[in-house]
Every structure is written in structure tokens, then in C-alpha cells.
Amino acid sequence: MSSPVAEPLDRYEDLLVRQLCGVLSTYLEASQVNDCVRAYQFGATAHAGQFRKTGEPYICHPVSVAISLAEMRMDANGIMAAILHDVIEDTPVSKKDLSIAFSKEVADLVDGVTKLSKIGSKTQAEAQAENVRKMFLAMGKDLRVIMVKLADRLHNMQTLGIMPPQKKRRIARETLDIYAPIANRLGMSNIRHKLETLSFEAMYPFRYRVLQSSVKKARGNRSKIVSTIEASIKSRLAQAELDCEVSGREKNLYSIYQKMLHKKVSLSEVFDVYAFRIFSNSIDNCYRILGIIHNMYKPIPGRFKDYIALPKANGYQSLHTIVIGPYGTPIEVQIRTHDMHRMAESGIAAHWLYKSDDDKSSKFQARANEWLRDLLEIQQSAGDSLEFIENLKIDLFPQEVFVFTPKGKIIKMPRGATVVDFAYAVHTDVGNACVSARIDKQLVPLQTKLENGVTIEVITTQWARPNPLWLNYVTTAKARSSIRNYLKHFKQQEAIILGRRLLDKELQAMHLHLDAIGQTRIDALLKILSLKTFDELLEDIGLGNKMPFLIAKYLTQDDINAHIKLDDMSQTQKTPLIIKGTEGMVITLAKCCRPIPGDSIIGFFNPGKGIVVHDHECRNRSVIRKKHASWLDVEWCPNVTGDFAVDLRIEILNQRGSLATIASTISEQDANIENVTVVDQDDRVSVDLITLTVKNRVHLAKIMRRLKDLSIVLKITRAKA
């Protein structure tokens, strides 16, 4: 692998290499340029005999990617990684080979960009999601990975020409869904606009050509108006002795198309807005220029945005205003410093491109790293790669609102975010323990949507835990993945605790205790069941996937390898399982019969979900017993506490105020109504199904006696199934 290419270079290839060396020599030392040339020779040897569909040698692609990065003044290791970014995927070269030939840093960068091989029967969506997930893991360690990947994607988009239309559209959709938003999130608007325009052309070639032609014609008609407005702005700024640049701003074809699509307007209406950028030397001058523009032309209320005081999440800073110019035409003006403009165009790339300017990009890089840390936290808790991609897309398309903590810290949230989203943005532990909040000192529910400028104080308690219902209204990826992760592990822990109780109960019936079972016997059983840990076995028992009676027999029989049928339930438990009613997700009370303390109950194993407790008199019991051979005796804990739902079927006289009387009577007996359903109704009688919460069977009997005493109640029964 060490010998350089001996054959004469292809003319186009030679041209690209000379161009790369020319750019590199403007900012790298000669020894570093030589290292990059050595990487090119290594890559050319590795890719020898490989050609792109355009017919050019394959090495031309990575060299083109390296040129894009060199124009951003990427460091030598980043350039070498760009030249070598496909060797692990497309050639026999390994990561270890790269470490030996160059350095571990270069090898790690290349590995971060390398796609995973498709495994087994993964769908294309799953494979792509896994690739993006791996890329973000590598990005968390080194941001140059995403720089190489974006430059790689940009060159692929520029050379899509000969691909089949279906593949073009798929790659373009992927670019719009993932890569363009990432470039935007990292503040790299220059690359983002190129990716969007190329994707638009690949997805809708006819629309692109028509729009491009129409814009070209419209531009010719507008040139005189643009030059007139530009001249008047320059003249007024010169009178105020402000040294600044003024230029007309060209709108991106894709953004024009998006505005036409979403606002359902014609090209003339979109193109009717004249856009200008004004560049100044200082922030103070930006605000002075804004005052002058507002004196020249009347501003449109509600269309002013101050992204200097409150930068966007991607670090973008500028003043935006829309004013009514001459001829009644709207004028969009963006005012920013030269440094802000460089950051807006290059984003994270400014870390390399403008490193000499007292490292002005350090604050932005901190933002990017903070975002990546959040993404890594999300990906660690995501169930699979597709879930991670779903969360990533949520995070890549934010429209921000700015809110304050009680100490005055500004936190950016996507529009539509709720109090729960804010709590998780502060800290995962705060989100997990939140119960309510105060917005501007007023108590509000957790699903309240946030508005600009409000101050939020989250109220937490030690006993609180995430509610699955939160997933219906949270909007941020961090909140969604944190809730899912907590619930997943919480259910797992509950299942392990229940599994231990069930197994202990069976062993006690055999006059044994779990602690008395030797580790050797447990290990032998785990091997037979193909499980790695004892906790996995306990979880399976708790979820109803394994029967505790059979596991107890396995653990206590003389020959651990003897065969026992998994459905052998000829013996049942002698001691019932005690139910407290607060076990959570792995022990649930059936909604068909709604058992309450004092009722005679029976438990059925529902594989994968745990134990479902039914009333012994439940009408569904016989059906369930036929379906579920796995059942167990259960009893209520003698001192059980809490509120339990129960259904009452009430026939009442259909007259004004009847339901209100029923409700107030139930309330007087210290019970709460959860739901009322009208089952049947005529002019005289109304049959209602009322779901209320009670402490136990005695409490329910007291309520029913009190209701029977009412003259409007004709009949009352407890509904079971």
C-alpha cells in the first residue's frame, strides 16, 4: 500500500491535485502540504481501477471534497481524512492500515465518515439511519467528521447528473431531510443553500428550470428599482458618516419555491420583496443604521427581528426588518457586522477559516458542541436508529421562542414547546421530577405552550416520575427521548422486582429461599434458557414470559438439565401474591371489571406486559382463562391505600339537575368522578355509566347506599364487564 502511483496522471485528475496543492499552500506549511500529497498517493493506489459513473477515476471525488474543505482552510489532518474518506468502505484498506500509514487521528476521522455495511435484512431506511447515527457519534468526538461528510455530500450532489431519476430523487430527499438542516444547524448557510438548490433541481427538474427562467426574466425588470433603492440607502448612510457596504441580496431558488408552496402565492408576490444586506464594522453602528432605515422608510409592525441580542440556535446574528419602500414595494433589510456575515456564511467552518481573528468563532463552537452533546444524549437513549432519526428531524427544524429561567438566563426553545420541554432543557433530572410550573408567577399545567419572553419556574418533587401521556404533547427531541428512556428502564426495573417476588413466593412454598439457591445452579439455568444475566430471567418472569412455578422447579430439581414442559401448570401456588395496587406498569387492574380492595381477585399473565388482575366475578374471566393457561392466585394487601376506579350503572329520572345531584352526592362521600357516559336515554329515564374512584369495597357500598336514598335514582348496580 505504500508505493505511490507510477502511471501518468489523468489530465483532469492532475488538474484537481494541482488546484488542491495551490489552495493548501496559501495557509499550510510545506511539510503539511507534502503529507496531503502523500495521502492523495495512498488514496489513488487504494482506489486504482475504480471509476465513477461519470467515467473519471474514483480518486477525483475525494480530491474534489478536499478542495472544498481547503477553501474553508481545514487543517492538514482534516484534508487527509477527506482524501481518504472512502478507502475503508470501498477498498481493502482497514482503519489499522490508516493508523500505521498516517495517524490515529486521521484514521478516526475516516472511520467516522465511513458508512456501516448493510447488515442482514435491514431496510434501506434502517441502514441510512444507522449511518447517520454513527456519524453523529463520531461528530461528538470531532466536528471535522461532519465537515468532511457535508463536503462529500455536496460533491455527490454536484455530480448526480447521470444517475437514474428515482435514485436522484432519493438522494435529494435524504439531503433535504438530513444534510441541509445539519448545515443550517451548524450555521453553514453557504453549503446549505448549495445543497438545497441542487436537491431541488434533482427532485423537480422541470419546476427548477421554469422557476430559474422566470427569476432570470424578473431580475432584468427589477434591476433599475434595486439600483435606485441601493443608491438612496448608500447616500443616506454616507450623510450620517457611517462606513458600511450595501448590496442587493439574491434569494435562493429553493427558498423562493418553498415560500410559493407554503404561502400559496405566485412568483410575482414572492419576488415583489426587494432584499438588501448592509455590512457595518461594529454592533453599535448596526443599530444606528436600523434607525436610519426606519426613518427613510416606514417599518411594517411585527416584522422586526433582533438576532444580535438573541442569536439563533445555530449562532446566526443579524438585524432583520421589513419596510415599505418607494412605489409601495416591501423592502427586506438585513444589517450585520462583517464578522457576523462571515459566521453566517461559514458557521462552524469559521473556526478554521477565521482562526486568526482572536478566535471569534469560539462562542459559536461552544453552541455547536452543546447541541452535539444533547444529540449524543438523545442517541444513547433512543430505542433504535429510526427513532434517533425521528428525534433528529424534530431538532433540525426549530422555530425558536426565547424564555427565561427565574435567574434570568435565556433558553431557546422550538415554537410549540411546552413546560415539560423546558424542564428537560434545563436538566434531565428536572424533567423527570417536574409536577407543575409557574409562568410569570402564575401556576400553569405541564402541557402549557411557551411564549416569547416569559419567565418559567419548574416545580419538582422527589416522588414524581415521567408520565407516558407527556409524549402526546412534548415537541423537543431531548424531552421525547428522555421520557421514553425513563419509562423503558422504569418498567424493566418494576418487572425485575415483581419477578423476584413471584419466584421467591414459589420457592417459599417449597420451603426454600432465593438466597439459598447456589450461583452454579442459577448459571446452569441461564445457560439452558440462553439468558445472560439473572436480572433478565427475573424480568421475563415479571413480564409473564416465563412462569415462576416452572423456574422454581428448574432451580430445585436434582437434575438441572432435566426437561420440563414450559406449559406444565399442573401444580399451582399455595400462597397468593399480595397486591398493593401501586406496583405500576407490570401489575395492572383490568378495565373490564375494575377490581377494588375487598374484591376476590385472580391474576393472569399477559406475556410481555406482566400481570393483569381481574375480579373473580368478571364476566370475561372464563374467556381469559381459556386463552391464558398462565394464571395465579392473588390477594389484596390488608392495609392497601390509594384510589381505585370503579364503574356504576345508574338509572335516574331524566329531569333538570339530576346529574348535578348525583355528582354532588358522590363528592360529599369523598370520591371523585372520572367519567360519565350516557348509555341510554328517553323522555323519562336516563341510563348513565359513571366511573368514579373509591378507597375500597366498603367505601363503594357507602356511596351506593347514599345514592339509593335519592328519589331520582331508580336503580344502581356495579358494572363488571
The pair phi, psi for residue 614, each rounded to 5°, is -120, 155
List 89, 174, 345, 536, catalytic entry: 89
Q: What is residue 627's predicted lDDT score, i.e. its pLDDT?
A: 63
Does residue 661 share a domain with residue 607? no
Q: pLDDT value at position 398?
A: 53
Task: Write down the residue that cell numbers 377490581 correspond to.
Answer: 595
How many other CB atoms are found less than 10 A from the CB of residue 662?
22
pLDDT for residue 564: 45
To the query of whether residue 89 is one of the catalytic residues in this protein, the response is yes
Q: What is the CATH number of the domain that holds 168?
A: 1.10.3210.10
Contacts 24+ apart (CB under 8 A), 145-148: 145/109, 145/112, 145/113, 146/182, 146/186, 146/348, 147/69, 147/72, 147/74, 147/78, 147/348, 147/349, 148/65, 148/69, 148/78, 148/81, 148/82, 148/85, 148/109, 148/113
Q: How confident is the model at residue 375 (pLDDT cuts 50, 70, 90)?
A: low
Domain endpoint, select from 183, 202, 221: 202
The larger pLDDT score, comparing residue 18 to residue 527, is at 18
Q: What is the pLDDT of residues 683-708, one digit of tens each?
A: 788 889 999 989 889 999 999 999 99
Q: How far apart are CA 64 and CA 159, in angstroms?
A: 11
Which carries the bigger pLDDT value, residue 218 or residue 574? 218
Residues 40 and 86 in one domain: yes
Nearest CA to 405 among 353, 467, 458, 451? 458
Structural domain that includes position 313 = 207-346
Among candidate residues 463, 424, 459, the one with its CA nearest the CA of residue 445: 459
How far apart CA 102 and CA 354 sit, in angstroms, is: 27
pLDDT at 46 > cutoff 70: yes
Per-residue pLDDT at 573: 45
Question: Environment class of residue 232 by beta-carbon count within 10 Å: exposed (0-12), middle (13-18) or buried (19+)?
Answer: middle
Nearest CA to 64 out of 163, 168, 152, 157 is that of 152
Q: Is residue 528 part of a domain?
A: yes
Model confidence at 562: pLDDT above 80 = no
Residue of 430 and 490 predicted with greater confidence:
430
Task: Say if residue 189 is in the same domain as residue 117.
Answer: yes
Query: For residue 529, is pLDDT > 70?
Result: yes
Kind of pairing between the strands at 434-439 and 274-280: unpaired
Cell numbers representing residue 558 in the block: 436434582
* pLDDT level of residue 350 (50, 70, 90 thresholds): low
Of 454, 457, 461, 447, nearest to 419 by C-alpha is 447
End position of a domain, from candidates 172, 202, 232: 202
pLDDT tens sequence across 238-265: 888 888 888 887 677 888 888 888 778 7
Q: Same structural domain for residues 94 and 27? A: yes
In a domain, 357, yes or no: no
Q: Are 644 and 693 in contact (CB under 8 A)?
A: yes
CA distance 466 to 328: 54
Q: What is the pTM of this model?
A: 0.54
Total domains in the chain come to 5
Q: Is 457 a catalytic residue?
A: no
Closest CA to 557 of 519, 510, 513: 510
Which residue in the list 10, 56, 71, 90 is annotated as catalytic?
90
Q: Residue 1 pLDDT more than 50? A: no
Say which residue, 279 or 517, is predicted with more confidence. Answer: 279
**Has residue 271 been placed in a domain?**
yes
More confident residue, 648 or 514: 648
Whether residues 179 and 77 share a domain: the answer is yes
What phi and psi values does residue 413 have, to the nearest 5 degrees? -130, 150
143 in a structural domain: yes
Q: Band of the pLDDT at 278, cuts 50, 70, 90?
A: very high
Whether residues 44 and 159 share a domain: the answer is yes
- Determine which helix (DSSP H) or strand (DSSP E) holds 628, and give its type and residue range: none
Same domain, 57 and 119: yes
Tens of pLDDT, residues 408-460 = 676 778 778 899 999 998 888 898 888 888 888 888 888 888 887 778 899 88
Q: Are residues 218 and 181 in the same domain?
A: no
Supply the pLDDT for residue 358.
45
341 and 212 within one domain:
yes
Contacts of 220 (CB under 8 A, 6+ apart): none
SS (H, E, C) 509-554: HCCCCHHHCCHHHHHHHHHHCCCCCHHHHHHHHHCCCCCHHHHHHH
pLDDT band at 396 (very low <50, low <70, confident <90, very high): low
| pLDDT reported for residue 90 | 86
Least confident of 139-148, 379-388, 692-701: 379-388
As a whole number, mean pLDDT of residues 301-313 equals: 82
* Distance (Å) of CA 382 to CA 183, 385, 399, 487: 23, 7, 23, 12
Q: Stretch 136-156: mean pLDDT, rounded?
A: 77
- pLDDT at residue 406 above 50? yes
Residue 320 pLDDT greater than 70, yes or no: yes
Q: What is the CATH number of the domain that holds 409?
A: 3.10.20.30
Percent of residues, the chain, with pLDDT higher than 70: 79
Q: pLDDT tier at 39 (50, 70, 90 boundaries)?
A: very high
pLDDT for position 3: 38
pLDDT digits over 543-557, tens only? 666 777 677 776 776
Residue 348 has pLDDT above 70, yes or no: no
Does 386 fall in a domain?
no
Residues 234 and 285 reside in one and the same domain: yes
Mean pLDDT, the chain, integer: 78
* pLDDT for the residue 63: 93
Across 71-85, 213-227, 455-469, least confident range? 213-227
| 612-651 pLDDT, tens digit each | 888 888 877 777 766 655 677 788 888 887 788 899 999 9
> What is the H or E stretch that residue 432 is in?
helix 428-433
Whether residue 173 has pLDDT greater than 90: no
Q: Residue 628 domain-assigned?
A: no
Specify the CATH number for the domain of residue 652. Answer: 3.30.70.260
pLDDT value for 572: 43
pLDDT at 190: 82
| Range of weakest confidence among 25-39, 64-78, 251-265 | 251-265
- Please indicate, yes or no, if residue 629 is contained in any of the structural domains: no
Specify the DSSP element, H or E, that contains 602. strand 601-606
- Whether residue 141 is found in the same domain as residue 161: yes
pLDDT at 394: 52
Give the pLDDT of residue 307.
Answer: 86
Helices (H), 567-696: 621-627, 658-668
Residue 221 pLDDT > 50: yes
For residue 702, the model assigns a pLDDT of 93
CATH of the domain at 286: 3.30.460.10
Answer for the pair 460, 435: CB distance below 8 angstroms, yes or no: yes
Residue 574 has pLDDT above 60, yes or no: no
Last residue of a domain, one of 475, 495, 519: 475
Range name among 93-107, 178-192, 352-366, 417-431 with the lowest pLDDT average? 352-366
Residue 380 has pLDDT above 60, yes or no: no
Within-domain flag for 499: yes
Do 530 and 470 fall within a single domain? no
